[in-house]
Structure 1
Amino acid sequence: MKEQNEGAIFYAMRDSHYVIKFIGEIRLTLCGALDRHLERVLSSGECQHVLVDLTESDFLDSTTLGLIAKIAIRAKEQKLADPVLVSVNADVTRTLLNMGFDRIFVILDSLPETVTELKQVPMVQESLEATQQRIINAHKVLMSLNETNYQAFCNLVSTLEEK
């Protein structure tokens, strides 16, 4: 059985440029920390440009994808430049394209050079209810991107909302 590649999320902010880097397998266990971090950064008013670095990502679950989509939606709401997403993994890129991320991100297949130092997003523990609401919200973002996503996740969201 293949050993799971534990994921990590790093970030940097310099001169209104925000970089977030995902490494390994990013799953639900990291989403509470990710969502809180994104809310803080995107609400700060300091961010004008966003780069999402997936060059070292092996897998992103659907909750993580919903939170990444949230970055682009919030950037658009704040009238920021189109966020850039970099993916070199064919499976990850295929998933992004199937989910409609090319409509909300500029997707590149190589990473621009940067000199910014990255800091790890700190882990947080949250309640089961908060985790469930985060899953629902992330999947609703994915559902809003296209009809295929809507069909893929509407039953999951309905089931979770009934609990």
Structure 2
Amino acid sequence: MAGFTACTTDRQLDTSTPGPLRQAPISASRRQAIVDEALFYRETSGIIYIKAQGHITANTCADLKTRVFARLEAKPPVEDILIDLGDCEYMDSTFMGLLVGFNKRFLRQSEKPLSLLRPNETCSKLLRTIGVLRLVNVRTDTITFPEPMENINTGHKAGTRLILNAHEDLIELSDENEQRFGVLRTILKDGLANEDDDQAPDIPD
């Protein structure tokens, strides 16, 4: 995987050349420009609003999956999902995998994709390379989000299962993603099996 990790906090993916995604260091000035990472959430009138800010990684979105999946399984059905990426400096593969998972579940009930708003050049390139951009609706217009929004970046660590499921959704998209994330999937599955073994109750003789 050429050093690619599921949760990166001080590097960005280099997609300038074909093959596995590689990491390139961010300069000191670039790092200073990155705003505090946060994910904001609100639902109103049947529309889920999500705003990503800064450098979005697996640990940033640990609680986002639970919130969105639970809502998509509830009634009444969600009418739309709008995700504002205008202030998102960077996203890792786990967050992109979550976007794919959200879109899959939303399509089942609405027969239309979720919308990504105002992604910058870096994020657009990442989303295009992984194959996410062709699945969703991309909008460049400005939509007024409701205020206030809840910051759901609680600092909880992303679990192995969340990261594994996100990458399995990415792997389903293409053979290229299988090459990029196949080894990582194996590592995560092994880690999950070890976690399950550690948590298994003792069986008396």
TM-score by length of 1: 0.87
Question: Partner letter of residue 144 of structure 1?
Answer: E
CA distance in 1, matches of 2:96, 2:116: 12
Which moves more between the two structures, 136-145 or 44-53? 44-53
Partner of 2:50: 20
Q: Going by fraction, where is helix more abundant, 1 or 2?
A: 1
SS at match of 2:61: helix
CA shift at 1:106, angstroms?
0.7
CA distance in 2, matches of 1:150, 1:86: 28
Partner of 1:89: 120
Instruction: Output aligned runs, 1:72-111, within 5 Å.
Output: 72-108=103-139, 110-111=140-141
Partner of 2:66: 36
5+ residue gaps, structure 2, are: 1-27, 192-205
CA distance in 2, matches of 1:93, 1:35: 21
CA shift at 1:93, angstroms?
0.5
5+ residue gaps, structure 1, are: none
User: 1:69-94 CA distances to partner (integer Å, 9 max, x unpaired)?
Assistant: 11111111223432111233101001
SS at match of 2:110: coil
Equivalenced residues, count? 159
Partner of 1:143: 171
Question: Partner letter of residue 43 of structure 1?
Answer: E
CA distance in 1, matches of 2:75, 2:84: 21
SS at match of 2:86: strand
Question: Partner letter of residue 134 of structure 2?
Answer: R
Q: Does 1:51 align with 2:79?
A: no
Which moves more between the two structures, 133-142 or 42-51? 42-51
Q: Does 1:133 align with 2:161?
A: yes
Partner of 1:64: 95
CA distance in 1, matches of 2:89, 2:145: 24
Identity of aligned residues (%): 25
User: 1:52-77 CA distances to partner (integer Å, 9 max, x unpaired)?
Assistant: 11110001111111111111111112
